[in-house]
Amino acid sequence: MNANTNQPGIRLGFIPLTDCAPLVIAQEKGWFRKHGLAVELVREPKRVLDRLLVEGHREEAKTLETSVRQFADKFRNEHGLEIDFDDSAARRLVERAQAERMTMAELCSHLFKDYQFGLSLIEKNTGQKKFVLNRSRSDVNSKRAERCRNSARH
């Protein structure tokens, strides 16, 4: 919707070759506007779409990274044990969530299911309450989860 005219907004992509002339002429002569259309011509839409996809991927990664920290906070509140994902672990979890099209909450609850039991044993024996997880720890849990999924299929 065009805010100035309350007309429906349409984006038309074009590649600057001679067959785009009707679109460009209609825009220049005001023919779209005359018929109640607010048209925006987008030159080389593939390039624009590729850029938008990259930007969206980055924004999704930022959101997922925040969700990693939220999972750690939730884990601490529920179990009284602190897990801290270092940057490499957080990046790996983001990669996994994006590749598997999962939310971070789904991925972490799957990968770290029952994790509190092992950490509680360590705490009971050593008094340690804070655990830093790095990328290799995330990968180990990923492989373990994959083996579980595969054995459940058979």
Please tell me the pTM assigned to this model: 0.60
pLDDT digits (tens, 9 = 90+) for 96-133: 999 999 999 999 999 999 999 999 999 999 999 999 99
pLDDT digits (tens, 9 = 90+) for 65-104: 999 999 999 999 999 999 999 999 999 999 999 999 999 9
Name residue, tokens 């054995």. Answer: 151
Parent domain of 24: 10-43
Are residues 64 and 138 part of one domain?
Answer: yes
Are residues 113 and 37 part of one domain?
Answer: no
Are residues 33 and 66 part of one domain?
Answer: no
Are residues 110 and 70 part of one domain?
Answer: yes
Name residue, tokens 């679109």. Answer: 23
Question: 53 near 101, Cβ under 8 Å?
Answer: no
Packing angle, helices 104-111 and 87-100, rounded to 10: 110
Instruction: Look at the chain and report how many structural domains it folds into.
Output: 2
Are residues 77 and 37 part of one domain?
Answer: no
Are residues 71 and 36 part of one domain?
Answer: no
Are residues 142 and 83 part of one domain?
Answer: yes
